[in-house]
Chain A
């Protein structure tokens, strides 16, 4: 059996751990730059606050009901996520836990006897709640896709299931599939859902009765094949080992307000480049291609919340590198190439690709070999920046004023990562 453990409105739960006064009150969390609502507590859902809608549209409703609003505090969420996953690793063993996203993970229960499954699933939930304060739901079934089905139903009927649902008999699986619409199946997007509905496949149960070859043909080949096998209870998605190195690293942000001068954009891009280079060094890699893109603000007022098309360009470096200074230079000259005077921009991003391990960088005959002396400097910079204070040390190209910085009007303290922002008790 496989379990999936999913945190209930994770970002809201993180805020609530340190704000017991908000325990049963409506809470929402906004995306970067306070643009959209990305997490809602059950109470906020009950009032009718929509998901992923722009904040300004929901504002009247939010003010009327006194909903507490938070800007996203990723320092806190990242730390709390680690705590949840670590708790599970301590309980079940490292090899049985597959972190799927910031708030979800698969747990292999193959070694647990059948009659003990529910007990184990329930204690997983209780333990995470006790150790971290985060409320979670657990779905258990023979396959990953079915465990997702179980998890969704567990979350939907919290009062009945107590947030734990185990599908351990064919009858229970059948019932659960009947209660799940095709668009709610893990891996079925909007387009496939429409296609399935047209041919009379409405629920997951209907789909599970379809022929494997039919799904192979109509649901995207191997992916559909795996999906249908999983729905029929045959394991075809295995526990995966974590992604150790990423193939592409990107850092992109919206500006706090539209930016019109080239220097601000250069500073922003230099800063994103430093961030991306840090990520690159964290996985002991170097990149050979750097791309920069900017997104101009649409002139039309109606499209205020839609992105304009992004304009981008890339440079191939002579030698793969992970040194911030070697990456900032081409990034900034790309900005010069892309920038048009008179336009205002709302977003920029940097992407590093062609990633190789930094101990296997191809040398270039015509470049001086710097023997990784730069890497030593970078490690020192990372060390200083990583111990608590962001960007104490940075390249001058990143600027000092940062007028383009993101808006974070409702930011909560970083309770778990900063000495001077600890939660107070009295």
Chain B
């Protein structure tokens, strides 16, 4: 029984809701029609975080993954519980440094590939100290300057 539970992910966060949490029109006049169709509403956590205890946030500081749509200052959502596979964007430690790259693999070779043609591949051989950290599942790119001022340290601004 345990085996089929081991690889299940959960997000319990806001699923603990009851009828009371559902917003209704609270109209004094004619409101009941909409109340019959009331729903909980959209929750970003629920959609973007598959496994809460294994999910961490990182901040991109560099342009190595620019062509994959990850810009300096972006927030990365990283899930440690997903199995690494060729073609995924990963966070990995290379010689003690944390980098974001495509993970690539052929029959006898492993390497990390940037999404920026100014940079070269990092080949993962016996001379590199390499450890995968997690899989990047999502990138949050903030557009509105008001939000940037609240969320992002000034130094990332382009």
Residue ranges of A at the interface with B (Cβ–Cβ < 8 Å): 20-23, 82-84, 86-87, 90-92, 112, 116, 120, 123, 127, 130-133, 415-416, 419-420, 422-426
B58-A21 in contact (CB<8A): no
Q: Are A21 and B97 in contact (CB under 8 A)?
A: yes
Selected from A20, A130, A131, A132, the residue in CB contact (under 8 A) with B98 is: A20
Residues of A within 8 Å of B64, CB to CB, are 426
Known contacts A416-B56, A423-B58; decide if A90 and B151 are in contact (CB<8 Å): no
- Whether A419 contacts B151 in the complex (CB less than 8 A), given A20-B93, A425-B61, A425-B100, comes out as yes
Q: Which residues of B contact A23 (CB under 8 A)?
A: 93, 96, 131
Quick check: A423 and B51 within 8 Å, CB to CB?
Answer: no
Q: Within the complex, what minimum Cβ distance (angstroms) separates B97 from chain A?
A: 7
Question: What separation, in Å, do the CA atoms of A83 and B98 have in the docked complex?
Answer: 21
Scoring B residues 1 to 44 as 1 if CB is less than 8 Å from chain A, else 0, what string do you get?
Answer: 01001101110000000000000000000000000000000000
**B76-114: which have CB < 8 Å to A?**
76, 80-81, 91, 93, 96-100
Q: Is the interface of B mostly helix, strand, loop or mixed?
A: mixed
Least CB separation from A127: chain B residue: B6
The answer to whether A86 touches B52 (Cβ under 8 A) is: yes
B153 within 8 A of A: yes
Q: A20-B98, A130-B81, A131-B80 are in contact. Are A422 and B57 (CB under 8 A)?
A: yes
Bound together, the chains give a CA A169 to CA B30 distance in angstroms of 72
Interface pair A425/B53, CB less than 8 Å apart: no
B residues 52-67 in Cβ contact with A at 8 Å: 52-54, 56-62, 64
Does B75 reach chain A (CB closer than 8 Å)? yes
Q: With the chains together, A416 CA to B61 CA distance in Å?
A: 17
Chain A contacts for B93, CB-based, 8 A:
20-21, 23
- A422-B59 in contact (CB<8A): yes
The complex places the Cα of A82 from the Cα of B12 at a distance, in Å, of 14
> A426 contacts which of B5, B52, B100, B133 (Cβ < 8 Å)?
B100
**Residues on the B chain within 8 Å of A22, using CB:** 96
27 contacts between A and B (CB under 8 A): A20-B133, A21-B97, A83-B53, A86-B52, A86-B53, A90-B8, A90-B10, A123-B6, A127-B6, A130-B54, A130-B81, A131-B53, A131-B80, A131-B81, A415-B56, A416-B57, A420-B152, A422-B58, A422-B75, A424-B58, A424-B61, A425-B59, A425-B76, A425-B91, A425-B100, A426-B62, A426-B99
**Per-position 1/0 for B141-158, Cβ under 8 A of A:** 000000000011100000
Task: Please measure, in the bound complex, the distance between the C-alpha atom of A133 and the C-alpha atom of B6, giving whole angstroms.
Answer: 17
**B90 CB, nearest partner CB in chain A, Å:** 10
- The 9 A-B pairs of least Cβ separation, nearest first, read A21-B96, A426-B62, A20-B93, A131-B54, A86-B53, A422-B59, A83-B53, A424-B61, A425-B98
User: Which of A91, A127, A130, A423 has the most CB atoms of chain B within a 10 A radius of its CB?
Assistant: A423
Give the distance to chain A from B19, nearest Cβ to Cβ, in Å: 22
- Report whether A120 and B54 are in contact in the complex, using a CB–CB cutoff of 8 Å: no
Q: How far is the CA of A182 from the CA of B57 in the complex (A)?
A: 45
Residues of chain B contacted by A91 (CB below 8 angstroms): 2, 5-6
Q: Which B residues lie within 8 Å of A83 (CB)?
A: 53-54
A287 → chain B closest CB, angstroms: 29
A123 to chain B, nearest CB (A): 6
Residue of B53, B59, B61 with most chain A CB atoms under a 10 A cut-off: B53
Complex CA distance for A422 and B64, rounded to whole angstroms: 18
Interface contact B81-A20, CB-CB below 8 Å: no
Q: Which of A83, A86, A91, A422 has the most CB of B within 10 A?
A: A422
Taken together as a complex, chains A and B put the C-alpha atoms of A116 and B2 apart, in Å, by 10
If A131-B80, A422-B59, A425-B59 touch, whether A20 touches B53 (CB-CB below 8 Å) is no
| Bound CA span A84–B151, Å | 27
